[in-house]
Amino acid sequence: MLTSIPSPARAAARLRIAFAGADREFGPDAVQIAAPWLAGAATEDLFENAEPVPSAGAGLRLFRSGRLWVGHAQERFVSGELAARTEALYRRILEASRGRHLYRIWNYVPQINAHTGELETYRAFCQGRSFAFEAFMGGEFEPRLPAASAVGSQGTQLEAIFVAGEMAPIHFENPEQVPAYHYPIEHGPRAPSFARSTVVRDGTRTWTFISGTSAIKGHKTVAPGSLDGQLACTLDNLRLISRSSGLGENLGAGQLVKRHFKVYLRHAADLGAARAQLERLLFRPEDVVTYLHSDICRAALSIEIEATLVA
């Protein structure tokens, strides 16, 4: 539980989240994520002056960055036990952030499109996550859900990075997508538990967390098998959620906004084509962009893009 702040064990520093495969050393304090890096920034350095909070508990690291709390939680991946292990992971996250609001969760799920018994891994993950939210928040938990993403990883741990704080956030949806938590039963016994974006003002800055965004309209996948078709749909969805979140048409482009993106590609061979289009259509030279080789939550999806914007 995040109630008091012990004296930090070392001087405050930037919290560095590092991805697998980059040919460099990141140091023992980096949070290592087993999602293979392809190009762009090899680390995500969003959280400045991060003070480690000792005694966070087994499988959990906590940091304080200004008025934000950032955590890294892990649970051993066992395919036949994934729903239960996801529920345990999320109960730990929810207990650690008790008394605060969740703003963003990044989930890294091994074998995300594999089948374990009757359920695909991602659907079992969604089931466990939903059970944990319901147990902790009650039956009407959907309006309180934060922005999130869930993509594949190549590790042996189910991992999540989460951001929480005392300031009340505002959550937004894409008008051309069914809210994920209202998906019909064809997408699994429990719907995915996240908002399309979350905006929070911490007194000096405004954080906009855009969830993993892909080629979905309504609740249906668009353009299966076509990178160009899926990229066009994904960019349209980013424009729509940008507008809903109060950023205008282009995710704060032209404003005093620091923009951080992650692009997840199912096929590493798509990097060149995707990068060329995104650099022409979306990214600015000063943007921080990371390309990762990851399976996406739906087997028919080839690309997913997320953003964290700080003004």
Q: Looking at the domain assignment, is residue 175 inside a domain?
A: yes
The pLDDT assigned to 207 comes to 98
Please answer whether residues 108 and 158 qualify as being in contact, where contact means their C-beta atoms are separated by less than 8 angstroms: yes
The pLDDT assigned to 3 comes to 35
The pLDDT assigned to 5 comes to 33
Q: Looking at the domain assignment, is residue 3 inside a domain?
A: no
Q: What are phi and psi of 307, to 5 degrees?
A: -145, 145
Q: Which two tokens stand for residue 280?
A: 């022409």
Distance of CA 118 to the CA centre of its chain: 26
Residue 4 has pLDDT above 60, yes or no: no
Q: Where is pLDDT greater, at 137 or 12?
A: 137
Q: Going by C-beta distance under 8 Å and a sequence separation of 6 or more, which residues neighbour residue 46?
A: 15, 17, 260, 308, 310
Q: Where is pLDDT greater, at 118 or 39?
A: 39
Tell me which residue has tokens 């940008």. 242
Q: Looking at the domain assignment, is residue 192 inside a domain?
A: yes
Q: What is the CATH number of the domain that holds 298?
A: 3.30.1330.40
Q: Tell me the CB-side half-sphere exposure of residue 133, using CA atoms within 13 A.
A: 23
Range of the domain at 24: 13-310
How many domains does the chain divide into? 1
Q: Give me the mean pLDDT over the 150-160 stretch.
A: 97
- Determine which helix (DSSP H) or strand (DSSP E) holds 60, and give its type and residue range: strand 60-65
Percent of the chain with pLDDT over 90: 85
Distance of CA 273 to the CA centre of its chain: 24
Q: Where is pLDDT greater, at 98 or 27?
A: 98
Q: What is the DSSP string of 127-140?
A: HHHHHHHHHHH-TT
Q: Looking at the domain assignment, is residue 107 inside a domain?
A: yes
State the pLDDT confidence band at 23, using cuts at 50, 70 and 90. low
The pLDDT assigned to 54 comes to 83
Q: Looking at the domain assignment, is residue 5 inside a domain?
A: no
d(CA 305, CA 289): 10
Q: Which two tokens stand for residue 255?
A: 């404003």
Q: What is the 3-state secondary structure (H, E, C) of 148-217?
A: EEEEEECCCEEEEEEEEECCCCEEECCCCECCHHHCCHHHCCCCCCCECEEEEECCCCEEEEEEEECCEE
Q: Looking at the domain assignment, is residue 49 inside a domain?
A: yes
Give per-residue burial for 37-57: e unless 16+ CB within 10 Å, then b.
Answer: bbbbbbbbebbeebbbbeebe
State the pLDDT confidence band at 172, using cuts at 50, 70 and 90. very high
The pLDDT assigned to 9 comes to 42
The pLDDT assigned to 26 comes to 72
Residue 12 has pLDDT above 50, yes or no: no
- Model-level pTM greater than 0.85? yes
pLDDT digits (tens, 9 = 90+) for 58-76: 889 999 999 999 999 999 9
Integer CA distances (angstroms), 153 to 112, 114, 269, in order: 8, 12, 17
Residue 272 has pLDDT above 80, yes or no: yes
Q: Give me the mean pLDDT over the 118-125 stretch.
A: 95
Q: Looking at the domain assignment, is residue 6 inside a domain?
A: no
Q: Looking at the domain assignment, is residue 1 inside a domain?
A: no
d(CA 67, CA 49): 11
Please answer whether residues 175 and 196 qualify as being in contact, where contact means their C-beta atoms are separated by less than 8 angstroms: no
Please answer whether residues 251 and 210 qualify as being in contact, where contact means their C-beta atoms are separated by less than 8 angstroms: yes
Which of 15-19, 110-114, 131-135, 261-265 has the least mean pLDDT?
Answer: 15-19
State the pLDDT confidence band at 118, using cuts at 50, 70 and 90. confident
Indicate the average pLDDT of the chain: 93
Q: Where is pLDDT greater, at 117 or 43?
A: 43
